[in-house]
A and B are shown apart, each in its own frame.
Chain A
Amino acid sequence: MKTYDAIVVGAGHNGLTTAAFLAKAGLDVVCVEKNDYIGGAAVSRNLYKDWWYSNCSYVCSLLRPEIYRALELHKHGLQVTPYGGSVTFMENGDYYGSYHDEEVAYREMARFSRHDADAYKSYSANTMRQCRFIRDFLLSTAPDPTSFKPRDIKELIRIGGKFMEMGEDRMYDTIRFWTMSVAEYLDEYFETDVIKAAFSGSGIIGTALGIHSPGTAYVLLHHYMGEVDGNVGSWGFARGGMGAVSKSIAGAFQAAGGELRTEAGVDKIIVKNGKTTGVALENGDEISAEVVVSAMDVKRTFLNCMDKNDLPASFHKRVENFKIRGSSGKVNIALDGLPTFPALPEGSSLYYSDMHFIDSMERMERAYDDWKAGTWSKDPYIDMVIPTTSDPTMAPPGKHFMSCFVQYCPHQVEGEPWTNEQRDAFGKSVIDQISNYSPDFRDLILHAEIRTPQDIEAEIGITEGNIFHGELTMDQLLFNRPVPGYAQYRSPVDGLYMCGSSTHPGGGVMAAPGANAAREILSDLKRPSTVPENFGDD
């Protein structure tokens, strides 16, 4: 039987990224995927006639440009097109829009509060400062503070140096920032409820926390970090849907000689004498390799696909305790035409933006209250985009695809599996909310796919359907991600590595975990790295 140099488990964007960088280094790599399509949660699915659905992840901004460039993803068909701003519709018939043009953005904010419009610059600078601090560490392995290895010490000194550079006041700010809630952070700058509500969404997306929960300010940063072509904080659509991201990485992988195998779900990661020797597939086949890399989340990897006896007990316990809670669902809709939003001026650039329908901090927090009570938000936070307003490839001309990211939505309803009626009721809460601001919307719906965390888990495999493969809270970030002592992509089993979003720097279609894991694996194999370095902005 053939022995590979490495097996990557899971053909999502991170698994494919690790696979591509390993293959580029000359390794003989096979990437196995349980589904009959690749992409994991970065997919374009043909679920209705000529419509292509980005039915999981839906925007592309965190994808590291260094990786894009190193893998020449444009030659494998990837194109990312930025889109314009965002809008929050208000119950009183007004709306708050954000715009790319600085002065237009200012005027819009000043319409609500001159104070807030003037405060925006320092808010932006302070957020950017935090962003700069963390961005540098995205494409590098988190140092272990308990290690005395020269590289860990060197990296700790570098982080320390960057931290000290800020000066006393800003060091205090930074420590506060990492632990405070997004609501408190925004309160320090703004007075207008709708503006705070509009900004706070980024603090909770993908997180089972509310806007008043400590640690959500950091989540805001995680979203702010994205960039499209040097415009930090700007967002983009992958042409052809999010599947174009995984397809292009797979293209780079295959061009480097890699092998993709679909419908090849892994039953067990095989361990002999504390060392992995390969994987056993669900269909009974075995594939052998000295290196196995799991792109699955940390729980699925160690709790579902391994024998408990192959792992140290304390490690196993920590994996069990890892927080990876279902908090969001999706409603994906094929539309017969572009819905109108009477609040917006005709031809407004906000038609191309992402849309939200919660206009107060109170409503944001109430949405979380439902989740805490074990059910879906009756008045949910929706992050809605219509990528076909700029992408001509996802639906027939004049027709549209709408993606609604919906929060909060629990993995189970009051501790019980979802019923079909409950799923429909969840979908209805979304359609009802949008209809309040777009009277013709409902009649334009041709097809809708409603996905609860339970559905996402069943299809993609992510535990509880958590989009980040684990909460982005301080106790699960950097050297704590996923488990203290195992934050450098290695596991307690020799030859077994992790490369999914459960690892540093976390979720989003960023591909940084995949790239960082490849760097560590190549280093262990004493091969030159094929992984690019951070561009840096200084």
Chain B
Amino acid sequence: MKSQPVHQGRLKTPFYSRLAALDTVNEWHQWKGYSSADSLYCEDTEYFAIRNATAVFDLTPMTKYRITGPDALDYLNRLVTRDMAKIRPGRVAYAVWCDDQGQVIDDGTIFHLREGEYRLCSQERHFAWLTAAALGFDVTITHETEDVAALAVQGPTSFSVLKNMGLKGLEDLKPFGLTHLDFQGVELMVSRTGFTADLGYELWIDPDKAEALWDALFEAGKLFGIRAIGTHALELARIEAGFLAAYMEFLPADETVRTGVSRSPLELGLDWLVDFKKPNFNGRRALAHEKRNGSTWRLVKLDIEGNKPAHHSYIFGNEKANKGQIGFVTSAAWSPVCKQNIALGTVRTPHGKPGDSVWIEIYYQREMHWHRKMAKATVVDKPFWFPPRRGATPPGPY
């Protein structure tokens, strides 16, 4: 039998034609095999579309699974650490799932589409783990990444844009809510979710309707400052929101080679996602042990003095850096909206309690010459950016 050869080169998402038409800088990277734009014209402008108007990001390459069957809820409750029974149909849950040692395999969002019907979205591909964990449950797990085209529509005017597009009922949609609407005779799922900590939505539709959706969206958004954006702008917004990214703040535990480089949800500040009241879930035993005996690491949000971003920096417990380092920065940025030098980092406990001071060793270059600065930083417990408009229901016009 002659086999079908695999696709060579990069895949194109259903929105590629529209992105390519807007692109002026020709900066792309690969995201799970797909061409994904770093930037389309100007990173700054794209970032400010998120914070000032409406930004549209193609998130089709995000890994997606459909989980259905009579045992879907029980299965998910077994898989993830939080209590999924609380997530009613029409609601979305942020969740993490762990291996038996309580180490995070990935984080993602679980959409309760309809009674007993779920979609799980994650950065990584986990079909092997998901099916292994399904042992004994009557569920069907379907990989559907290619079957669903998805756009993030984020920013203060995003509600106005969608309303202007004729989408009904979004006034009442609360954060982490989802609704099914009609778009040109096809089902359009809209969820009030995103990766920016601003007002925002995600749109999910059949790939055949992707271009039509894009066109309608941009037509509706013309007077509301709508702009397509690439991953660089989104990444900055993500750090301001204090959200975790796989391969930045943690590694999928099942991919690690060395011991001690993975993280538990407790070490990532996700205690609130771990529900020990549930009788059983993957990693429960190990996490209960960790809860009793203490964690090794702690994820910290850092408010750093000065204005030099702390990329790739070591973190020290004192200014002289003489007692060894206590951790390192995982993501860093100068926040344009907060005018704050911010970072996420991982430090050894007991360091890094909210309010603690730590010192960051920052290297920066000025006209070829390198400089080093020990900058004081304060551990904060709130997201750097979390405007009231994010949660306002009904949302404001801008």
Please list the residues of chain A having a beta carbon within 8 angstroms of any beta carbon in chain B.
65, 68-69, 73-74, 79-82, 84, 100-101, 228-231, 239, 349, 390-393, 397-398, 535-538
Contact = CB atoms under 8 A, between A and B. Distances in A.
B interface majority secondary structure: loop
B42 A101 contact: yes
A81 B51 CA distance: 9
Interface in B291-319: 306-307
The interface centre, meaning the residue of B156, B223, B307, B366 with most chain A CB atoms within 10 A of its CB, is B307
Contacts of B337: 74, 79
Nearest to A82: B44
A82 B48 contact: yes
Given A84-B45, A392-B398, A537-B366, A65 B52 contact: no
A73 B339 CA distance: 9
Contacts of B79: none
B323 interface: no
B225 interface: yes
A538 B366 contact: yes
A393 B396 CA distance: 11
A239 B397 CA distance: 14
Residue picked from B41, B48, B51, B339, most chain A C-beta under 10 Å: B339
Contact of A392 (B156, B306, B336): B156
Contacts of B224: 392, 397
Give me the 6 closest cross-chain CB pairs, A-B, nearest first.
Answer: A397-B223, A68-B339, A535-B307, A229-B336, A392-B398, A69-B339
Interface residues of B, number: 27
A383 B179 CA distance: 47
A393 B398 contact: yes
Given A84-B45, A392-B157, A398-B223, A239 B338 contact: no
Contacts of B53: 390, 392
Interface string B367-398: 00001000000000000010000000000011
B52 A390 contact: yes
B44 A100 contact: yes
Contacts of A239: 52
B305 to A, nearest CB: 9
Given A392-B224, A393-B398, A538-B371, A69 B340 contact: yes
Contacts of A537: 307, 366
A interface: dominant SS: loop
B156 A390 contact: no
Contacts of B156: 392
B52 A391 contact: yes
Given A79-B52, A390-B225, 7 more contacts: A100-B42, A229-B44, A230-B334, A239-B52, A390-B53, A392-B53, A535-B307
Contacts of B225: 390, 392
A69 B338 contact: yes
23 contacts: A69-B340, A73-B339, A79-B52, A79-B337, A81-B52, A84-B42, A100-B42, A229-B336, A229-B339, A230-B307, A230-B334, A390-B48, A390-B53, A391-B52, A392-B52, A392-B53, A392-B156, A392-B157, A392-B398, A397-B160, A535-B307, A537-B307, A538-B366
Contact of B336 (A101, A228, A397): A228
A228 B44 CA distance: 11
A394 to B, nearest CB: 10
A74 B366 contact: no
Contact of B51 (A68, A79, A228, A393): A79
A225 B44 CA distance: 19
Contacts of A391: 52
Interface string B22-38: 00000000000000000
Nearest to A228: B336
A374 to B, nearest CB: 43
Interface string B165-203: 000000000000000000000000000000000000000
Contacts of A100: 42, 44
Interface in B35-59: 41-42, 44-45, 48, 51-53
A239 B49 CA distance: 12
A535 B44 contact: no
Interface in B218-264: 223-225
Contacts of B157: 392
Contacts of A536: 306
**Residue among A84, A229, A230, A535 with max Cβ neighbours from chain B (10 Å):** A229
Interface string B128-148: 000000000000000000000
A82 B52 CA distance: 11
Given A73-B339, A229-B334, A538-B371, A65 B48 contact: no
A272 B92 CA distance: 68
Interface in B316-341: 334, 336-340
A239 B224 CA distance: 14
A80 B44 CA distance: 12
A38 to B, nearest CB: 21
B369 to A, nearest CB: 10
B42 to A, nearest CB: 6
A230 B335 CA distance: 10
Contacts of B334: 229-230
A69 B305 CA distance: 10
A536 B398 CA distance: 35
Nearest to A69: B339
A417 B307 CA distance: 49
Contacts of A397: 160, 223-224
Contact of B339 (A65, A390, A393, A538): A65
B296 to A, nearest CB: 33
Interface string B345-380: 000000000000000000000100001000000000
